[in-house]
Amino acid sequence: MNPLLAAFLRGLLAVFCLLTAFAYTMVLERKVLGYFQLRWGPVKVGPWGMLQPLADAVKMILKEDIRPAGIDRFIFALAPGISLFAALAIFAAVPIGPNAAVTDPPGGLLYVLALASLGVYGVSLGGWSSQSKYALLGSLRATAQMISYELAMGMAMLAVVVAAGTVSLGGVVQAQAKMWFFLPEIIAFVIFLICATAEGNRAPFDLAEAESELVAGYHTEYTGMRFAMFVMAEYVDMIVLAVVGALLFLGGWRGPAPIPGFIWLLLKTGVLIFLQMWVRATFPRLRYDKLMEFGWKWLLPFAFLNLAGTAIIVALRG
């Protein structure tokens, strides 16, 4: 088969799997939050509410696509696509097993960081093009938050790169043959989890969508499928960052029992996703100044010190 065609087909399969995972991750989160809050989650549509994603999709497709007067029509239409594309494209360089990826470039981790940074453009452009103060303030909050927490997350990931001696995600997994980086890089792991939660604008870091003062933040003026694309981007981003976290810190597809590697990766990803849901059900939303203070005054210095310490230890061992 033509290599280009094979890569295209693998990409289509990855997109299908990610969108399916998004749909049922959303149902799972509603169930988990229901159990935490002593109530039922979705139960009406299908057995155990498992057809709820289909009902939500039909609802979003049938909703009227409202475009407020005075907006930048092209940018307004483009912004949700940028956010969703950036979230989906990250998975192109994420291996789910030995030689199992759409593509596994030597600098896969750099590609992940670049695409994660690109997602902020969809949010900022969506808020700016809406010509609404609520949407604009929400997009400014989201942009500042993503930039702030990306720095600490990047340093946490660089600590793993220094320890593994490679920027290839597959190479990082191979470097964990004897010990998962979760143990020697526990500080980087905690920082990564916090920053991944903030990157996805998820509670308690969902200040960009704070309904108490911003109505819905950057997507206030969006309806129907355009609004759904922002939601899809948020969940896909959460799933992909959980996969990346499992690859960097939890040994990826490696495990103590002789079962298929992708099952190990799926289990580890599920644990990281559940942790984010647990945090959402437990902690209240932060105040915005406290959010920025925590990122710049605490996470970033700790990430820098951890990176410097890792580099010194690796140099002494070398």
For 244-287, what is each residue's pLDDT tens digit?
Answer: 999 999 999 888 888 888 899 999 999 999 999 999 999 888 88
* Residue 103 pLDDT: 67
pLDDT in tens, 26-71: 999 999 999 998 898 888 888 888 899 989 889 988 988 888 888 8
| Whether pLDDT at 187 is above 90 | yes
What Rg, from alpha-carbon coordinates, does the chain have? 20
47: left (phi over 0), alpha (psi -120 to 50) or beta: beta
pTM for the structure as a whole: 0.92
Question: Looking at this protein, which amino acid is placed at residue 285?
Answer: R
Find out whether the peptide bond into 204 is cis, omega within 30 degrees of 0. yes
Could you report the per-residue pLDDT of 166-181, keeping only the tens digit for each?
998 889 999 998 899 9
User: Crossing angle for the helix pair 224-249 and 261-282, nearest 10 degrees?
Assistant: 120
- How many CA atoms lie less than 13 Å away from 133 in the CB half-sphere? 1
In the predicted model, is pLDDT for residue 5 greater than 80?
no
What pLDDT is recorded for position 102? 65
Mean pLDDT over all residues of the chain?
88
For 123-134, the pLDDT digits (tens) are 889 988 998 888
pLDDT reading at 211 higher than 80:
no
Of the pLDDT bands very low, low, confident and very high (cuts 50, 70, 90), residue 97 is: confident
pLDDT confidence tier of residue 104, bands split at 50, 70 and 90:
low
Distance CA 126, CA 157 (A): 29
Paired tokens of 312: 């010194």
Residue 302 has pLDDT above 90, yes or no: yes
Candidates 99, 82, 115, 92; CA nearest to 17 is 92
Tell me how far apart the alpha carbons of residues 124 and 112 are, in angstroms, rounded to a whole number: 20
Domain range summary for the chain, segments of one domain joined by +:
71-317
297 vs 214 pLDDT, higher one:
297
Q: Does 200 score more than 90 pLDDT? A: no
